[in-house]
């Protein structure tokens, strides 16, 4: 195969690979809200209350399960919250309040204090919100946006896997996800000590493809932004490529993309120059898997 030109290869890198589900997972949001819908409707009775402290105590006496909704009103996914001020500190437990209030009546006052000092009573009694289900849906939407980093990490893997499937490979038959070096060695009786530091390092590859004559170990990533991690990645994959060159029946493959590489292109070019099996998304689209993975 003719040697690729690095500048031309890099020019095809993409700004983004975000799909329509990347930004917000509404299905997850609706499911989280639905799990506490009844309790939120009970708490709705406090909206506009003229005697909110006493009414809150009555509610938690009669419906102690409503206490589990309190953390999400503060955009917190915890069952316990510690707070302190000039009056001292207190660990509020939102999953075992029923037992607490039966044994210690002072807990009522502590939870009233919590609601007051965090501003939740003000939120409710002054009609700042009109419906807690709508409010929590908004909170969950904000919290879910924090999950974009995790979703983004899987976007490139999912994209590459689609092309692997299109090339005719079948999962758990001749392609495998997230395989460790030791698993590869054991499954196909191949010596990978060159890349495992004599068995002391246990690396996991994103995909492993097995053909009649070759094992392809694949790493995938996409970088939309720069950072020191890109230089570290390029250097480590360069080392891996060099260490694996003399292993018969084994090929290390790197599929990467993203304009974040523009800020680390010198390190990427060093790896590109010594690595034959390095590809981008455009090459996937052009059928590189069918062409090379045989």
**Residue 6, domain member (yes or no):** no
- Residue of 72, 120, 116 whose CA lies nearest to 94: 72
- Closest C-alpha among 45, 34, 40 to residue 71: 40
pLDDT band of 199, cuts 50, 70, 90: low
Three-state DSSP class for residue 186: helix
Let me know: does 66 contact 90? Beta carbons within 8 Å.
Answer: no
Residues 133 and 212 both lie in one domain: no
* Residue 258 placed within a domain: yes
- Rounded to whole angstroms, the Cα distance separating 2 from 4 reads 6
Over the Cα atoms of the chain, what is R_g?
A: 27
Q: Quick one: pLDDT band at residue 219, thresholds 50, 70, 90?
A: very high
Q: What is the DSSP letter of 262?
A: G
Shared-domain flag, residues 159 and 37 = no
Same domain, 271 and 165: yes
Indicate whether 89 and 156 sit together in one domain.
no
Q: In this structure, are 206 and 262 located in the same domain? A: yes
86: exposed, middle or buried (Cβ count in 10 Å: 0-12, 13-18, 19+): exposed
- Is residue 65 within 8 Å of 35, Cβ to Cβ? no
* pLDDT tens digits for range 111-120: 999 999 999 9
The tokens for 36 are 């506490």
Residues 128 and 240 in one domain: no
| Band (225; pLDDT cuts 50, 70, 90) | confident
Question: Is residue 276 domain-shared with residue 258, that is, in the same domain?
Answer: yes
pLDDT at residue 232 is higher than 70: yes
SS3 of residue 237 by DSSP:
helix
| 77 within 8 A of 83, measured Cβ to Cβ | no
Q: Which domain holds residue 280?
A: 147-292
Q: Which of 113, 145, 177 is the last residue of a domain?
A: 145
Q: Tell me, what CATH number does 193's domain have?
A: 3.40.1350
60 Cα distance to chain centroid: 35
Angular region, 119: left φ>0, alpha ψ -120 to 50, beta rest: left
Average pLDDT on 252-266 reads: 95
User: Which H or E run includes 52?
Assistant: helix 52-62
Distance CA 244, CA 65 (A): 58
Quick one: 181 and 89 in the same domain?
Answer: no
- Phi-psi label, residue 88: left if phi above 0, alpha if psi -120 to 50, beta otherwise: left
Does residue 15 lie in a domain region? no
101 with 180, same domain: the answer is no
Residue 178's pLDDT is: 96
Nearby residues of 4 by Cβ (< 8 Å), 6 or more positions away: 272
Q: With a cut of 60, say whether residue 15 has pLDDT above it.
A: yes
Residue where a domain stops, chosen among 83, 110, 145: 145
User: Of 127, 145, 163, which closes a domain?
Assistant: 145
Residue 179 and residue 83 share a domain = no
- State the total domains in the chain: 2
Q: Are 100 and 107 in contact (CB under 8 A)?
A: yes
Identify whether 34 is part of a domain: yes
- 257 domain-assigned: yes
Residue 2 forms part of a structural domain: no
Q: What is the pLDDT of residue 238?
A: 94
**Residue-wise pLDDT tens digits, 66-95:** 999 999 999 999 999 999 999 889 999 998
């Amino acid at each position: 195969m003719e040697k690729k030109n690095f500048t031309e290869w890099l020019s095809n890198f993409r700004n983004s690979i975000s799909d329509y589900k990347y930004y917000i997972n509404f299905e997850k949001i609706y499911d989280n809200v639905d799990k506490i819908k009844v309790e939120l409707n009970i708490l709705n009775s406090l909206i506009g209350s003229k005697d909110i402290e006493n009414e809150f105590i009555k509610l938690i006496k009669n419906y102690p399960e409503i206490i589990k909704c309190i953390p999400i009103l503060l955009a917190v996914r915890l069952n316990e919250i510690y707070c302190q001020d000039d009056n001292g500190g207190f660990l509020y437990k939102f999953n075992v309040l029923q037992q607490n209030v039966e044994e210690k009546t002072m807990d009522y006052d502590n939870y009233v204090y919590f609601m007051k000092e965090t501003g939740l009573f003000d939120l409710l009694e002054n009609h700042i919100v009109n419906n807690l289900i709508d409010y929590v849906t908004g909170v969950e939407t904000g919290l879910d946006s924090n999950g974009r980093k995790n979703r983004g990490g899987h976007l490139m893997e999912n994209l590459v896997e689609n092309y692997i499937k299109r090339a005719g490979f079948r999962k758990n038959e001749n392609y495998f996800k997230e395989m460790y070096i030791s698993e590869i060695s054991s499954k196909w009786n191949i010596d990978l000590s060159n890349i495992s530091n004599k068995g002391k390092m246990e690396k996991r590859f994103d995909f492993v493809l097995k053909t009649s004559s070759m094992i392809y170990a694949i790493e995938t990533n996409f970088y939309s932004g720069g950072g020191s991690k890109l230089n570290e990645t390029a250097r480590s994959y360069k080392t891996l490529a060099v260490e694996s060159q003399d292993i018969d029946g084994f090929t290390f493959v790197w599929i990467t993309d993203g304009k974040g590489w523009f800020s680390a292109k010198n390190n990427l070019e060093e790896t590109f120059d010594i690595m034959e099996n390095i590809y981008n998304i455009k090459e996937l689209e052009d059928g590189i898997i069918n062409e090379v993975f045989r």
